[in-house]
């Protein structure tokens, strides 16, 4: 199992008491599959991604990433694990204003200490995979919101992550562009063999995902396999 979230409970301080954001949550995501997590705002979806990304340490339970038990790792070890094994896509593409599209991706290789040689080729290959090979020299302000989100996704894949965590990638996009980004995530999950978790509050265009789980008040229902799409 490429991503394993096992009986995770997470609380935040809340005045005199504590708020339970995740309540014994269990999630298993095999390589090459996409699990969507839906649920209302405030139900704990982003908290689940933060725990899976090892950005937040749960009160109880454990997270295993690509066979690596993360409980007990030092901050530096977690940071290295994130750089090398986990791709994270947040709602707003936080691209660097002064860099071109291909440079946004090359920075990732640089940060992980990989040789610069080869990085440009891989960056171009990923831009091609997200349909933006012809935009390699463009800066963020020269691109649409949908194109920026595609670059954000390509950047998260630059270090060949085993796990891809995506938080509400379509919330700033209109329906058609949102559907195109979801199609892209499904395709990339297959071709890159990532264990992908996609958080969304929008149940539209979920017909292509492998499984859907629902978060309600910090509790996650068992993921249910998608009905085969009609046609
Ligand atoms: P979602 O992504 O589904 O909207 P979140 O995981 O962001 O839900 O939040 C779950 C609950 O935890 C909410 O009640 C939210 O207010 C609370 N929460 C989230 N982050 C924090 C934090 N850093 N400190 C305190 N409470 C938080
Ligand atoms: Mg959220």
Cα of 119 from ligand 2 centre, angstroms: 32
On whether the CB atoms of residues 154 and 105 are closer than 8 A, the answer is yes
- Predicted confidence (pLDDT) per residue in 143-196, tens digit: 998 899 999 999 999 989 999 999 988 877 788 888 888 889 999 999 999 999
Q: Is 44 touching ligand 1 by the criterion CB < 6 Å? A: yes
Shortest-distance Cα residue to atom 10 of ligand 1? 44
Cα of 158 from ligand 1 centre, angstroms: 29
pLDDT for 227 beyond 70: no
What ranges do the domains of the chain cover?
3-225
pLDDT for 208 beyond 70: yes
CATH number attached to the domain at 3-225: 3.40.50.300
- Other CB atoms within a 10 A radius of the CB of residue 25 amount to 25
Ligand approaching nearest to the C-alpha of 12: 1
Residue 73 is predicted with a pLDDT of 96
Q: Is 15 touching ligand 1 by the criterion CB < 6 Å? A: no
Cα of 104 from ligand 2 centre, angstroms: 25
């Amino acid at each position: 199992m490429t991503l394993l979230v096992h009986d995770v409970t997470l609380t935040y301080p809340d005045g005199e008491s504590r708020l339970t954001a995740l309540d014994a949550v269990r999630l298993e995501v095999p390589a090459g599959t996409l699990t969507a997590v839906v649920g209302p705002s405030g139900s704990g979806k982003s908290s689940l991604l933060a725990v899976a990304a090892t950005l937040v340490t749960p009160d109880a339970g454990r997270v295993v990433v690509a066979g690596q038990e993360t409980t007990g790792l030092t901050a530096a070890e977690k940071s290295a694990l994130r750089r090398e094994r986990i791709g994270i896509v947040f709602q707003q593409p936080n691209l660097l204003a002064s860099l071109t599209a291909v440079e946004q991706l090359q920075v990732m290789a640089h940060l992980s200490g990989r040789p610069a040689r080869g990085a440009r080729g891989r960056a171009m290959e990923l831009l091609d995979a997200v349909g933006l090979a012809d935009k390699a020299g463009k800066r963020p302000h020269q691109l649409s919101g949908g194109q920026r989100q595609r670059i954000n996704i390509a950047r998260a894949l630059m270090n060949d992550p085993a796990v891809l965590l995506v938080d509400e990638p379509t919330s700033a996009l209109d329906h058609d562009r949102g559907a195109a980004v979801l199609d892209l995530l499904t395709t990339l999950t297959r071709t890159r063999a990532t264990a992908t978790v996609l958080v969304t509050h929008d149940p539209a265009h979920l017909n292509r995902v492998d499984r859907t789980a629902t978060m309600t008040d910090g509790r996650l229902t068992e993921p249910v396999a998608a009905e085969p799409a009609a046609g």
